[in-house]
Amino acid sequence: MQSFTYYVPTKILFGRGTESQAGAAVRAEGGRRVLVLYGGGSAQRSGLLDRVTRSLEEAGLTYFLKGGIHPNPALAFVEETIAEYRDRGVDFLLAVGGGSVLDTAKAVGLGLRDPEGRVWDFFTARRDPADTVPMGSVLTIAAAGSETSDSAVITNEAAREKRGRNTPLNRPRFAIMNPELTCTLPAWQTACGAADILMHTLDRYFSNVPGNETTDALAEAILRTVIRFSPAALERPGDYEARSELMWCGSLSHNDLTGLGRGKDFSVHQLGHELSGRYGIAHGASLTIMWPAWARRVRPTDPERFARLGRTVFGVTEGAPEAASLACIGAAEDFFRRLGLPVTLGGSEIGLLPQAELEALALGCSRGRSRSIGTFCPLDHQGILEVYQAANR
Ligand code: NZQ
Ligand code: ZN
């Protein structure tokens, strides 16, 4: 087994009605003046925002409200919020929503404590952040795993660039996870969330570091659980069992339990971020478009790895690695289709792209030919371009 450091200091409050503990949780972390961030309206419509603010009032906390965060959250909103709250003594950020709201809170926290006030520098790796405002969340969708991750992903809409930043400063202090809150999710968001959970696990599963059977077995269990319960959540949106399994898988898939120092691949995420940055497509859908093309391209690196995934997760019965690995990719593709998600560009809202757009995607993803992506089978600019071309059908 490889050596690793594992430290995930996020307190989890999981179960029905846990949002009523928001005020106490903030207070326990030392927060007194709280900026509550939320999205485009679902938290208001469901009454969640009222319940959360009541809890803050009961805990004797001062709070400010700022909503309007949209999926693939915008740098402009982050900068506006930093400017608005820089001098208002905010000492805690509470995100009520999904990954977009949580990531906005993380970016706002870094920006509020940055004397230079140029938060985008942290996402382009021009500078490292030194401090942040602590944050916690009331999660409303099982998907991004931001509730326990050290990552934030923001879109610079003017530049059409979506960039992530990993830093221990991004790790939330607590995550309030009431699966009932996710019962109002539309089918599309439920499916996109399930795909994202699968991909956080797969982007770590494809590793060249051998050994660590425990980690492989945990990853396969998460994948099987999502494959079992996401169709159930689509058929019965109010199914608490299904919603709770998905919600817990969402956190476990992205708190690095299934990575543990063996080198993340994350090529599919990098490829997908370019699609979202340029065309605004939902994160989960960007991943299911790119995974089949990526998988077929890198499969020769280690067909047995794909064959094992097929056997343990997708019920593939072929014995020989060559046939089993191909069957595995086909089975995964079928499952994404079953969730109602696209598996090609042509089958998505983006549509077939001209060669010039594919070139622009590859240039963005390779940062102008300056980097390769992935660890399982590193892809340079040409490799990246070929994967986009393969997805363009
Ligand atoms: O804005 P509202 O009205 O709340 O609607 C949202 C939004 O339209 C809706 N929604 C959320 N909870 C709901 C609900 N609708 C009804 N009932 C509910 N309970 O769902 C839509 C999507 O919300 P969003 O926050 O964008 O979803 P998700 O959690 O999938 O987050 C996606 C973002 O997270 C980033 C993605 O790139 C994307 O920008 N990621 C963040 C990661 C991280 N920080 O660790 C890792 C991921 O790989 C990912 O990159
Ligand atoms: Zn993701």
Count CA within 13 A, CB hemisphere, residue 6: 14
Using CA atoms of 179, 180, 186, 191 in order, give the dihedral in degrees to the nearest 10. 20
CA of 269 to the centre of ligand 2 (A): 6
- Which residue's C-alpha comes closest to atom 46 of ligand 1? 144
CA of 58 to the centre of ligand 2 (A): 35
Distance of CA 31 to the CA centre of its chain: 26
- Which residue's C-alpha comes closest to atom 39 of ligand 1? 72
Ligand nearest to the CA of 187: 1
The answer to whether 170 and 133 are in contact (CB under 8 A) is no
- Which residue's C-alpha comes closest to atom 14 of ligand 1? 185
**pLDDT tens by residue, the chain, 393 residues:** 889 999 999 999 999 999 999 999 999 999 999 999 999 999 999 999 999 999 999 999 999 999 999 999 999 999 999 999 999 999 999 999 999 999 999 999 999 999 888 999 999 989 999 999 999 999 999 999 999 999 999 999 999 999 999 999 999 999 999 999 999 999 999 999 999 999 999 999 999 998 889 999 999 999 999 999 999 999 999 999 999 999 999 999 999 999 998 888 999 999 999 999 999 999 999 999 999 999 999 999 999 999 999 999 999 998 899 999 999 999 999 999 999 999 999 999 999 999 999 999 999 999 999 999 999 999 999 999 999 999 999
d(CA 233, CA 235): 5
Q: Dig out the tokens for 320 from the structure.
A: 């020989």
Question: What is the rounded end-to-end Cα distance, in angstroms, of the chain?
Answer: 41
Ligand nearest to the CA of 74: 1
Which among 19, 122, 189 is the best mutation to test ligand 1's pocket, defined by most ligand atoms within 8 Å of the CB?
A: 189
Does ligand 1 have an atom closer than 6 angstroms to the CB of 153?
Answer: yes
* Pairing status of strand 92-97 against strand 62-66: unpaired
Ligand nearest to the CA of 45: 1
Does ligand 1 have an atom closer than 6 angstroms to the CB of 40?
Answer: yes
Does ligand 1 have an atom closer than 6 angstroms to the CB of 170?
Answer: no
The pLDDT score that the predictor gives to residue 330 is 98
- Which residue's C-alpha comes closest to atom 22 of ligand 1? 71
User: What ligand 1 atom has the least distance to the C-alpha of 182?
Assistant: 19
The pLDDT score that the predictor gives to residue 211 is 86
* Pairing status of strand 33-38 against strand 92-97: parallel
Q: Which of 95, 107, 109 is nearest to 39 (CA)?
A: 95
Does ligand 1 have an atom closer than 6 angstroms to the CB of 171?
Answer: no
d(CA 66, CA 162): 22
- Which residue's C-alpha comes closest to atom 32 of ligand 1? 99
Q: Which of 55, 143, 156 is nearest to 98 (CA)?
A: 143
3-state secondary structure 92-161: EEEEEECHHHHHHHHHHHHHHCCCCCCCHHHHCCCCCCCCCCCEEEEECCCCCCCCCCCEEEEEECCCCE
Distance of CA 286 to the CA centre of its chain: 12
Does ligand 1 have an atom closer than 6 angstroms to the CB of 151?
Answer: yes
Taking the CA atoms of 360, 366, 367 and 370 in sequence, report the sign of the dihedral they define. negative
Q: How many secondary structure helices (H) and strands (E) does the chain include?
A: 15, 8
To the nearest 5 percent, what fractions of the chain are helix, strand and coil? 50, 10, 35
The pLDDT score that the predictor gives to residue 262 is 87
Using CA atoms of 161, 75, 29, 247 in order, give the dihedral in degrees to the nearest 10. -50
User: What ligand 1 atom has the least distance to the C-alpha of 193?
Assistant: 30
* Pairing status of strand 11-14 against strand 174-177: parallel
3-state secondary structure of 351: coil
The pLDDT score that the predictor gives to residue 263 is 81
CA 45 to each of CA 51, 94, 184, 237: distance values in angstroms, whole numbers, following the listed order: 12, 18, 10, 17
- Which residue's C-alpha comes closest to atom 16 of ligand 1? 185
- Which residue's C-alpha comes closest to atom 45 of ligand 1? 146
Does ligand 1 have an atom closer than 6 angstroms to the CB of 39?
Answer: yes
The pLDDT score that the predictor gives to residue 133 is 98
Does ligand 1 have an atom closer than 6 angstroms to the CB of 101?
Answer: yes
In one-letter notation, the amino acid at residue 266 is F
Which among 19, 103, 252, 265 is the best mutation to test ligand 1's pocket, defined by most ligand atoms within 8 Å of the CB?
A: 103
Give 366's contacts (C-beta < 8 A, 6+ positions apart): 372, 373, 380, 381, 384
Domains identified in the chain and CATH numbers:
11-181 (3.40.50.1970), 184-391 (1.20.1090.10)
Hey, which bits of the chain come out as E strands?
11-14, 33-38, 62-66, 92-97, 135-139, 151-156, 161-166, 174-177
User: What ligand 1 atom has the least distance to the C-alpha of 183?
Assistant: 19
How many beta carbons lie within 10 A of that of residue 143, not counting itself? Answer: 31
d(CA 144, CA 151): 10
User: What ligand 1 atom has the least distance to the C-alpha of 149?
Assistant: 45
User: What ligand 1 atom has the least distance to the C-alpha of 72?
Assistant: 39
Q: Look at the pTM and tell me if it is higher than 0.95.
A: yes
- Which residue's C-alpha comes closest to atom 31 of ligand 1? 99
Does ligand 1 have an atom closer than 6 angstroms to the CB of 97?
Answer: yes
Ligand nearest to the CA of 41: 1
